[in-house]
Chain A
Amino acid sequence: MGKKVFLATGSILGLSLLLGACTPTAEESTGERAEPTRTVTLLSPMTGEQKQQLERVLAPFTEATGIEVAYEGANAFATVLPVRVESGDPPDVAMFPQPGLLQRFAQAGELVPLDTFMSRTQLEKSYPRQWLELGSVNDRAYGLWYSASVKSLVWYNPQEFQRQGYSIPQTWSEMMQLSEQIVDDGKIPWCLGIDSGETTGWVGTDWIEDIMLRTAGARVYDQWVNHEIPFTHSAVKNAFEEFGEIARNSEYVVGGVVGVLSTPYGDSVNGLFRQPPRCYLHRQGSFIESFFPQDVTLGEDADVFPLPPMSEGEDVPLLVAGDVFAMFNDTPEARALMQYLASPKPHEAWARLGGYLSPHRQVSLDTYPNEVTRRQAELLMNAETIRFDGSDLMPPSVGTGTFWSGVVNYLNGKELDRVLQNIEDSWPEES
């Protein structure tokens, strides 16, 4: 080894330190220093087409204010966000797919309350009270709701209904009679698929929640979600059994129980549009329309009716879910973005793109591009009882853990009492 080599390598080492300092860092790109452009960082689980829509909706904001939105989309959102926050490097603004994680960060004092820069009246003018409460902790609002999805919907093919002479059921028992009639006609009434890879189970828990709202009522539903009644309560057991009447009945569901467990939820709906149809009814949230085959026209080949109440004349309780924005870093840019998101403008822009419902009160029904979406928005606006997806509100070890796997195990043949006891046991002790 000559001296030359040593000198050369020494200078490379020096360079490497220099480069370490020069490589772009996340902080630098937020532009706190001499950067001329102002930016706000945004982390969300949205990828693919949804991400493009989000960017399109945010474009007017950048145009008007000159603030760039540095967007990061991550399918592993639920892992990446807590790691970033724990290590002291959160994004300025994050979009949560459920309020549970938001509430946890709010309780830990990681989030900036909206009332530090928005007035209560402004918030109340924009959002219904129930939605504001879902994004609040200790009476301080943290979350700006962005999209809402209505889950208590049954999709059907109006042309096939007409051809067979089926009519839209007004009560639960009418719906079961219709199912029986379809079986008598030698066909299968329901398409149901719960496979969703790493999130398998939510389709089933949505069903249970919808049935709970109808059989036990909103008050018991709230007690159940808050664990004021145990999971082994007879009302819960009843809801599971009611679901089993459909999902575990091999005459009622395409492919029997194995079909229910193996079919991806996005594929299962396609049975409605096959020739001849594989099934006639499909209970799923408003977002399922993004899975429809391209040649399906909303209103002609696909329509919805609300999942009926138990008996005639009762109001239709709505099960909903949604995406919500919250702010981690109190910068002027982040405030500006939150102000923009609280205004009706981005909500209307997205509504025009279709496949989206807004909980914002100032979005007029005329904004929605078609009749079917408008009907869902109307349901959302007029419903007397709205309840948020319960599994999203339960502690994650239940809501995304044993409740999910419990429904799957129940369908897979495990004894119901043991399933419920297992979920009950997994509820974390008060901390």
Chain B
Amino acid sequence: MESFLTKLPVHVTLLVICAIWLLPALGLLITSFRPREAILETGWWTVLQNPFDANFQLENYIQVLTAEGMGQAFLNSLTITVPATIIPIAMAAFAAYALSWMRFAGRQVIFFIVVGLLVVPFQMTFIPLLRAYNFLGISGTFLGLWLAHTGYGMPLGIYLLRNYIGTLPKDLIEAAQVDGASHMTIFSRVILPLSLPAIASFAVFQFLWVWNDLMVALVFLGGTSDVAPVTYRLSNLVGSRGQDWHLLTSGAFISTIVPLIVFFALQRYFIRGILAGSVKG
């Protein structure tokens, strides 16, 4: 039994690091409740010194949330983000399994290319890709955007998952093979459950990237109200000339809510024992 005292250095270290990480975000949160003029007058921490004088207001949030088309934009963002997360996970997981546990010619070359593609800036693909989309008639469709995001997220997905799946114990797979299981069965019954931590990490990453993206959506989907995502609505609220800090900050928090829910929902997959339990059992 470790006493609280022996753990004190641990608590202190964690507290300090967390405080450093929290401070800027706290500043954002407080700023989002302050009126535009006050933001430019005094630092946000002055609010903490005398919280009762603070002129907190919900105005900024009301303005952002009641903006025209915000509800539709949330639906659009979900329509874009959920498939654009699940499709690359599925494809990357299958590919990672094959690259780790199936013997076939060209595996090394594929891995080589995948790692190389990690660094390709997605902006470079805009023009060739949009030309192809216009030719195929899928420009301006959700399908086209899903495919684009799938492509952009795939190298990281394959890379992360291959690394994780490749380190799973060999005995597990061999035992299943002896039992006569097909690759599909091994993949879905053994590999997938064991890889949940890695899949959850990649899912969080991909979800965030797609949810916060504005540029790719604007290029492949356009900005008309029936398809435009939340990020587009937010950027439209904020003028190109005024310093609308009050709207930027509250908008940033509103768009953060959904990713945070996703993170908390997936957090239970990061817990100990999934691997250990299954090896024993």
Question: Which residues of A come within 8 Å of B, CB atoms?
Answer: 1, 16, 19-20, 23-29, 45-51, 70, 72-76, 79-80, 83-84, 86-89, 264, 266-267, 270, 287, 290-291, 293-294
Given contacts A27-B140, A87-B131, contact A47 B235 (CB under 8 A): yes
Other CB < 8 Å A-B pairs besides A25-B141, A48-B237, 17 of them?
Answer: A1-B184, A20-B143, A24-B140, A24-B141, A24-B227, A25-B140, A48-B236, A49-B239, A50-B240, A72-B224, A79-B123, A80-B219, A84-B219, A86-B131, A87-B131, A88-B134, A267-B40
Q: Within the complex, what minimum Cβ distance (angstroms) separates B42 from chain A?
A: 13
Nearest B residue to A41 via CB reads B224
Provide the bound-state CA to CA distance between A270 and B39, in Å: 13
Are A87 and B134 closer than 8 Å at their CB atoms? yes
Given contacts A87-B131, A88-B131, contact A48 B143 (CB under 8 A): no
The 0/1 profile, CB within 8 Å of A marked 1, for residues 236-273 of chain B is 11111111100000000000000000000000000000
Provide the bound-state CA to CA distance between A50 and B134, in Å: 31
Instruction: Give every chain B residue within 8 A of A24 (Cβ-Cβ).
Output: 140-141, 226-227
Are A266 and B242 closer than 8 Å at their CB atoms? yes
Interface of chain B residues 127 through 149 with chain A (CB within 8 A): 127, 130-131, 133-134, 137-143
Partner of A86, one of B127, B137, B235, B238: B127
Partner of A291, one of B184, B224, B242: B242
Are B218 and A74 closer than 8 Å at their CB atoms? yes
Are B222 and A72 closer than 8 Å at their CB atoms? yes
Instruction: Give every chain B residue within 8 A of A45 (Cβ-Cβ).
Output: 240
Partner of A266, one of B143, B214, B241: B241
Instruction: Give every chain B residue within 8 A of A1 (Cβ-Cβ).
Output: 184
Are A70 and B130 closer than 8 Å at their CB atoms? no
Residue B215 is within 8 A (CB to CB) of chain A in the complex: yes
Provide the bound-state CA to CA distance between A133 and B142, in Å: 42
Provide the bound-state CA to CA distance between A293 and B39, in Å: 12
Are A70 and B239 closer than 8 Å at their CB atoms? no
Provide the bound-state CA to CA distance between A395 and B249, in Å: 36
Are A26 and B140 closer than 8 Å at their CB atoms? yes
Residue B37 is within 8 A (CB to CB) of chain A in the complex: yes
Nearest B residue to A294 via CB reads B37
Instruction: Give every chain B residue within 8 A of A16 (Cβ-Cβ).
Output: 143
Are A49 and B242 closer than 8 Å at their CB atoms? yes
Are A72 and B239 closer than 8 Å at their CB atoms? no
Provide the bound-state CA to CA distance between A47 and B235, in Å: 7
Instruction: Give every chain B residue within 8 A of A29 (Cβ-Cβ).
Output: 224, 226
Nearest B residue to A77 via CB reads B240
Are A293 and B37 closer than 8 Å at their CB atoms? yes
Residue B122 is within 8 A (CB to CB) of chain A in the complex: no
Nearest B residue to A44 via CB reads B240
Provide the bound-state CA to CA distance between A267 and B40, in Å: 8
Instruction: Give every chain B residue within 8 A of A80 (Cβ-Cβ).
Output: 215, 218-219
**Listed A/B pairs (18) with beta-carbon separation below 8 Å:** A16-B143, A20-B141, A23-B141, A26-B140, A46-B240, A47-B235, A47-B236, A47-B237, A47-B239, A48-B239, A50-B239, A72-B223, A79-B123, A83-B127, A83-B219, A84-B130, A84-B219, A89-B139
Q: Within the complex, what minimum Cβ distance (angstroms) separates B85 from chain A?
A: 16
Residue from A45, A49, A290, A294 having most chain B Cβ neighbours under 10 A: A49
Are B235 and A75 closer than 8 Å at their CB atoms? yes
Are B240 and A75 closer than 8 Å at their CB atoms? yes
